[in-house]
Amino acid sequence: MPINVIETRGLVKDFGDFRAVDHLDLNIEEGKITGLLGPNGAGKTTTIQMLLDIITPTEGTIKIFGKEFPRFKEQALAKMNFSSPYVSLPTNLTVIENLLTFARLYSVPNPKKKIAELADFFEIQHLLPRITMSLSTGQLTRVNLTKAFINDPKLLLLDEATASLDPDIADKTRKALKKIQSERGVSILYTSHNMVEIEELCDYVIFINKGKIREEGTAKELVEKFGHKDLNDVFITIAREED
């Protein structure tokens, strides 16, 4: 029986009269890359932020690694990490200073060795002494991913990790992600608006709209179910559907 690293039951988030997340029951399986998809305002970011205890849910429960969250938050967050191009690292520190800071925040033993190993993998050795503000978008994404793997996370939340990257860098980033995920068996919850990327990366896909799960399954299953040629068309159909 598959083990779930994330389980939410009846998860609700209201902002005043607006319901951003509406009784969401998520099951994110261990060791898989799960795509969380939906149009803008579907509730993806709010859901991810509730899974990181950045937003407090209005109702419902969250279990991460089988334990109540945020009750056991400190233990859970130590085994998790997060990356988004919309959340920057301090730009006035060098890359190595930023990575050392996060290695210490995650109590990584021998942080310099860990950084060297990851810098090698993500090909950022030459960027380590540079001031973060001097990096290009592609370089920043690789630094963010290095930070995301600094604590050998068991669960990684990636919010549009390849947004604003050119196709070449995006492809390299996806391949690097896929490689490191398969080597380490990390469970990844991945949001993206790039359906080609989702088809390439994700083992399982969950579509949400208006805060509710609309469809879930493998990319292939969903394409077949809707009778479309690809996931992009499935996305458009779900995004345009009414309640």
Residue 162's contacts (CB-CB under 8 Å, 6 or more residues apart) are: 141, 169, 170, 173, 174, 192, 194, 197
Among 5, 26, 38, 82, binds other proteins (CB under 8 A): 82
What is the closest distance, in whole angstroms, from the C-beta atom of residue 232 to other proteins in the complex?
28
66 or 90, CB closer to other proteins?
A: 90
Among 10, 41, 90, 129, binds other proteins (CB under 8 A): 90
| Options 4-12, 59-67, 89-97, 165-173: segment touching other proteins (CB under 8 A) | 89-97
48 or 234, CB closer to other proteins?
A: 48
| Options 86-94, 162-170, 185-193, 198-206: segment touching other proteins (CB under 8 A) | 86-94
Which residues inside 36-55 make contact with other proteins, applying CB under 8 A?
A: 46, 49, 52-55
- For the chain, the DSSP string reads -PPEEEEEEEEEEEETTEEEEEEE--EEETT-EEEEE-STTSSHHHHHHHHTTSS--SEEEEEETTEEETTTHHHHHHTEEEE-TTSPPPTTSBHHHHHHHHHHHTT-SSHHHHHHHHHHHTT-GGGTTSBGGG--HHHHHHHHHHHHTTT--SEEEEESTTTT--HHHHHHHHHHHHHHHHHHT-EEEEE-S-HHHHHHH-SEEEEEETTEEEEEE-HHHHHHHHT-SSHHHHHHHHHH---
The answer to whether 4 contacts other proteins (rule: CB under 8 A) is no
75 or 125, CB closer to other proteins?
A: 75
29 or 97, CB closer to other proteins?
A: 97
Among 17, 107, 168, 243, binds other proteins (CB under 8 A): 107
The answer to whether 92 contacts other proteins (rule: CB under 8 A) is yes
The answer to whether 88 contacts other proteins (rule: CB under 8 A) is yes
Residues that bind other proteins (CB under 8 A): 13, 15, 46, 49, 52-56, 73-75, 77-78, 80-82, 87-94, 97, 100-102, 104-107, 147
